[in-house]
Chain A
Amino acid sequence: MLKAFVWTVPMALCCFSAWAQNDTSGDTATDAAETTLISAEVDLAAAEKIFQKSCRACHGNKAQGAASYPKLSDKEPDYIVELLERYRSGEKIGPNSILMIQHAKKLSDSDIASLAIYVTTAFE
């Protein structure tokens, strides 16, 4: 979980105002804000849906890698973010780039952040 926390801080900061405006849970929320923020900003449920639809068939049901598609679960989140952003821009990186570009170009910054956390933590 440490690597997830470290990486998610920047995402939490950029989205904090929206979270705060929607919060109605009272004073105790402050103490729990950090934990809540991580789960709120990194939408693991949304990431799981994207993973099941777009990633799982090649990278495996546990992101363990399969065939010529690499393992994801052992990577660092920032590595996943970097690669997805580069694929999203249309950059070719490796022999399976055409598949990755097609999927990555549909992803928002939030999707990428969430996926990066999901694939590197969900299958530990």
Chain B
Amino acid sequence: MYRSHYRTTLPVLASLIGGTAIMSLPAVAQSGLNTTNLQHEVVLDGLDNPWDMAFLDDGTMLFTEKCKGLSVRMADGTVNALYGVGDTDGYPSNGSDLFCEGQAGMMGVAFDPDFANNRRIYVYSTSNMSEPHTNRLMRFSLSEDFTSVSDRTDIVDDVPYKMAASDHPFGGPGAHNGGRVRFDANGHLFLTTGDTHNGEVPQSPTMMGSKVLRIDTDGNAIADNAPPDGFDDRTYTYGHRNVQGIAFHPVTGQAITAEHGPWHSDEITILQNGGNAGWDPRPNMAGRGDCPDNYCGYSPNQEEGMNRYERAAFMPMTDFDTYPDAMPPIWNNNGWSQGTSSAAFLAGDAWGDWNGAMVVGIMGIGFGGTPIGQRIDVIQFNDDNTDVEDVTEMTLPMETGRFRSVVMGPDGSLYTAIDEGTIYKLTPGG
């Protein structure tokens, strides 16, 4: 597991060799060391909390805005609004049951792998159709002219939603919904969910929070899902905290999550079918007593900063003492929690040594001495693709932001959305 070796390329080089760096860097960048020379382009700006994107081969891009809705940017740059959250103006149709609150709202989006034939797309959003409210994965048909959606079918309607505020940091309603929607190469649909600040959810066999669901496009479990007996058979993995990143290794095909830690230990984990990620924030177990509102997720000392390793010992992100067979993380962000969100794999020769490496978007959060850390990390695996070998902070050509989403585009560029309202395109070389 990669814990402590951390380096930034261009800034370190520049500080070490001063003025000569300017002359030397292009040669270094092209020597195969890695790719530090990125170009950037603003694809869309002025958005309202863009959360996720999905692409067709021609560059057509679906994107969600958390409190507004679903839109599509066509290859020629025109944007069509498609499906609004609640009564948001400007959309040809709206989900009157959809709403946003705190971290909740419209989140992940995906094209069906067979979109060219079936016109299907998938969107995950918070809904008040049920009491208590839930998060739902909706399937739509997208019109031939990309101007409207129809045939909404909620293929998952029971992902828990946090209805009321609790006595926790970020304790408002709507916390921890997960939210990423991705297909693997087999056409299986993965949905990541969160713990909703509820201590019972992560290890629950039936509550579908804190899970990675693996389903078909009707919402049915994949036949060889292998959760423990008694679990909902849509469960691929469980015992997560709040998974917002999932991507599939280009060689092994394995699903790999990037997960936001509890003021310590952001994690990257290679998923095992039926595996337990080991998050269990229940009170009165694992050496803990009572916790605020029966959730120990920020304990101890949830109102003050403290040493991250002491915090991890008290409330581990992956509790191997209680769950010795838990899936081991292969990266823990040096013990920090800085808002790790989305994940993707770079693809294309233009990325040089980074071709095939994982990228992780980190939103940044400064609390109790934690460095804010807004960045995109490049995670390189070992030859066996079983562990992290190297981590490099991407040298960005633009201002940093809250990197909510990273998605590989069909043009070989990496697209990233920041909460501040911008979707960027990052292209190697130039």
Contact = CB atoms under 8 A, between A and B. Distances in A.
A96 B103 CA distance: 12
Given A94-B172, A98-B303, A102-B368, A67 B419 contact: yes
A57 B169 contact: no
Given A62-B420, A98-B302, A57 B170 contact: no
Contacts of B302: 98
A98 B304 CA distance: 8
A55 to B, nearest CB: 10
B366 A61 contact: no
Contacts of A58: 365, 402
B113 interface: no
B108 interface: no
Interface in B154-199: 165, 169-172, 174-175
A57 B366 CA distance: 8
Given A57-B365, A98-B303, A67 B103 contact: yes
Contacts of B175: 95
A101 B303 CA distance: 9
A59 B198 CA distance: 27
A54 B366 contact: yes
Contact of B170 (A60, A66, A95, A101): A95
A110 interface: no
Interface residues of A, number: 17
A58 B165 CA distance: 20
Contacts of B172: 68, 94-96
A29 interface: no
Interface in A54-77: 54, 57-58, 60-62, 64, 66-68
Interface string B355-374: 00000000111111000101
Given A66-B402, A102-B305, A95 B364 contact: no
A39 B346 CA distance: 48
| Residue in A54, A58, A96 with the greatest tally of chain B CB atoms within 10 Å | A58
Contact of B367 (A67, A94, A102): A102
A58 B174 CA distance: 17
Contact of A61 (B169, B174, B303, B420): B420
Contact of B102 (A57, A64, A68): A68
Given A57-B366, A67-B49, A95-B175, 7 more contacts: A67-B419, A68-B103, A95-B102, A95-B172, A96-B170, A96-B172, A98-B169
Interface of A: 54, 57-58, 60-62, 64, 66-68, 94-96, 98-99, 101-102
